[in-house]
Structure formats: structure tokens, C-alpha cells
A = this chain, B = another copy of it.
Amino acid sequence: MKNKVNVAIIGLGQIGIYLYNELIKKKKDIEKKTGKKIQVVAISAKNKKKKRRFKIDKKIFYSNPFKIFKDHKIDILFESIGLSDGVSKKVVELALRNKTNVITPNKALIAKHGDYLAKLAEKNKVNLEFEASVAGGIPILRTIKEGLATNKISKVYGILNGTTNYILSEMENNNETFDKVLQKAQKLGYAEPGNPKLDLNGFDAFAKIRILSALSFNAKISKNKCIMEGIENIKLEDIKIANQLGLRVKLLGISKIINGRLFETVHPCLVNKNSYIGNVNGVMNAVITEGKPVGESVLQGEGAGPGPTSSSLLSDLLSILRGNIKYPFGISSIKRKSIKAFNNDNYTNSLYLRFEVNDKQGVLSLITNRLAKYKISVKRIIQTPDKKNKKATIVIITHKTTEINAKNCLTIFKKNKNVLKFPTLIRLYN
């Protein structure tokens, strides 16, 4: 790469504008570390006049990002619009074809089109880097691609979404309902004000798990059908009962190889309060890898926000400026294989089941008989009567059972008049 490097930023939302300011502030530091002079020659966003956190140079502003490539030879493009398709995909495609290196924090784009875009980057001999797409400031992708490069990784899991982790922590700490904490999170900017759905329903964490799987197992990004559950159905009550049992609810993303098959999932888990993962609270993220020979490695840090994200974007920048041409997924695209999917029905866990029932004789035995029929054995029962309303809460912790068994067993409770709601199921982490 020549000594003067032209940079463009597409998308000036929270991340993009912060990055823009950092690039200007750290120009000298970057030159000291790499010997390269960077110059932001173009920026693009929908609205030129929008009030932003930092002032922009309007002379280099483009309403149409595609026009940038006509006016400039761009060496490095930052894409921070964040769509899985549309402009995000088109501009990245155009850049790679023009032999422009691309850096993006866009997990939706990479989880959906990463394989295709990686191939395109390799064909054009440029870099496509996306460290910031997973776990904000934690350099987990670089760690898997380089630091743990020759390990055989068998499992990668963790807390991958700061918004939901914040909500769960606050519910527990302040004894507040989901809805109330969600409002607070939106006020603080931790959750999208308009549409927090992609955080809450597990989709965001799931995109990250897909990327982590591909890197950890040298595989193509899987398109397998997976169990994906968010935290929308976690009630304050569950958190309180968990607490009494020495447990805590965490939304975990998990990816592992079971008998040569790939299993990926995102769902709430009950973890031990004294465990490491049980103590990653608030907006923190943590990623744990299990590999040979290295053993268990833990990386923890702030998972979101412009500061941490920009730290990762700049680490990608430095890597490119130092002249390291790398495969986007650590190895060449043609060597990345597809791994067959593990059958989700056989996923096995101890379960936490909460039943809201009429406080009548025979209801408990109805439940335990049904469980017994499906060979789900009970480890613990906590029955809390609500005498006034003639209701009761029955919490059952089961021994290990499969998904399919649990599913089949529970169906009957959809239509039983003494079981007031379909039971809440939370898997215990093992």
C-alpha cells in the first residue's frame, strides 16, 4: 500500500460519526504505528444537515455513496450503515470489486453474506475485516483467527448482547419488571428507541454466533435451522425464583461441535450465580472458547457503544495499514467446509419449568405424571401457594431431557383448564 491512504466512511450514525472523529484525532498516532498517512476523503450519510455529535467536513460529504468511487481511489472503506442487504451490501460489493479494503461492524451483513463477500475480497486481493461485528471492543475474532490459530476449538459461547444482559441485570438488581427496565435502557441508549426487537428476540446474538462458529470451526457460515429464543418472556418472578436457587438468568449464545455435527443456539439460560459467566453483568460481553491444547480462554469487555466498537474498527485499520493481507475468515474460502447440523431435537438440558395453576388437589400429580410419562425425572419442586386467589406457582427443576421430549410433554398443558398459562421453560446451563 502506498504511503498516503484514502479512507471513506459510509454511514454516520452513532458508530460512524465517532469513528470519523477518532480517525481525525489519531492520524498522527496511526502514522507513528504504521508509517502510513491516512486521509478521510469522503463521508456519506442520508442527511447532510442532521445534528451530529461531532462536526463534519461538508466539502467531502456525499449523499450518494456510490459516487465516491467515481471521484476517488479509495484504499479503505468503512461501512457503518448496518443493513444486512440494500445499500450496505451494494456498497461493500462495489468497493471490493474496485480493490478497496473494507472494514465493517455490520454483523447482519456478515452473518448473511459473509461467505460471498469473503470470496469476493480474496478474488480481488483485498481485506474484508469485521472485528467490530462481534462483542464490540473485545478482539475476539482476531484472537480466534490468530492468537488461537492452531488450536482445535470445540466450543465457543458467551454473552453476546449487551442490551439484554443489561436488562436482566437491572431486573434482578432493582426488582423491576421487564417493561420498566426496557424503557430505561432505551432512555440510556442501550436499546434502540424505535425497534429493540432484534436485541430482545436473540437475533443480534444469533448473527454473532454464526460468525463465531464459522471462525472457530473453519466452516462456512451455517444456514441451519436453530433454536433461537430471546428474553421477552422472562418475568421478574423467574429471576427471583432463580435467585433463591442460587441461579441467574443469562442470554447465552452457544456454538459447539457434537459428534462432528454443528450445534448453534441462542436462548436464556440459568447459570450458577457463583460461576464466571454468572458474574458478567450489565452491558458487558464475554466470550469463552474451549480448545486444545489451550484449554478455556475467556475474553470480557464492553460489548457495545461507539468507543469499544471504534477500538475494534481501528484495530482492523492498523492491521491493513501494516500490510497484512489476510483471509477474512482466517483460511481460504475454498478450504472452508460446511458442517452438517446437529439435530436440535436431541439437545439435552436440565429444565426449569414454571407452572401457574389453580390451587386444587390433583394438579401437582397431573403435572408429575405427565413428566413421568415422558421419562422426565424431577430433581426439585417448589410450590408457592397464593391462597387468596386460590392459585399456586409450581416450579420444577428436572434432570436432563431432550428438546423433543420436553416439547411433546408440555403440549398437553396448552389446553388444561387448571394450568392457567403455558408453562415457562428455561434451560439450565451445563
- Residues of the B chain whose Cβ atoms lie less than 8 Å from the Cβ of A315: 146-150
Are A311 and B137 within 8 A (Cβ)? no
* Residue of B279, B293, B307, B335 touching A310 (CB-CB under 8 A): B293
Are A294 and B307 within 8 A (Cβ)? yes
Which of the 9-residue segments A100-108, A184-192, A259-267, A298-306 touches chain B? Answer: A298-306
Query: Does A65 interact with chain B (Cβ within 8 Å)?
Result: no
Are B138 and A297 within 8 A (Cβ)? yes
Whole-angstrom CA separation of A310 from B295 in the bound complex: 11
Max chain B C-beta neighbours (<10 A), residue from A291, A293, A302 = A293
Whole-angstrom CA separation of A318 from B150 in the bound complex: 8
Are B294 and A137 within 8 A (Cβ)? yes
Please judge, given known A-B contacts A315-B148, A318-B146, A324-B324, whether A33 and B295 are in contact too, CB under 8 Å. Answer: no
Whole-angstrom CA separation of A276 from B146 in the bound complex: 26
- Residues of the B chain whose Cβ atoms lie less than 8 Å from the Cβ of A322: 324, 326
- Residues of the B chain whose Cβ atoms lie less than 8 Å from the Cβ of A307: 292-295
Please judge, given known A-B contacts A298-B301, A310-B293, A311-B293, whether A143 and B139 are in contact too, CB under 8 Å. Answer: yes
Whole-angstrom CA separation of A302 from B295 in the bound complex: 7
Which of the 9-residue segments A22-30, A171-179, A230-238, A345-353 touches chain B? Answer: A22-30
Query: Does A373 interact with chain B (Cβ within 8 Å)?
Result: no
- Residues of the B chain whose Cβ atoms lie less than 8 Å from the Cβ of A319: 146
Query: Does A151 interact with chain B (Cβ within 8 Å)?
Result: yes
Are A314 and B149 within 8 A (Cβ)? yes
Are A32 and B137 within 8 A (Cβ)? no
- Residues of the B chain whose Cβ atoms lie less than 8 Å from the Cβ of A33: 149-150, 330-331
Are A150 and B30 within 8 A (Cβ)? yes
* A-B interface, 8 closest residue pairs, ranked by CB to CB distance from nearest: A139-B147, A293-B307, A294-B311, A298-B300, A150-B314, A137-B294, A297-B301, A295-B302
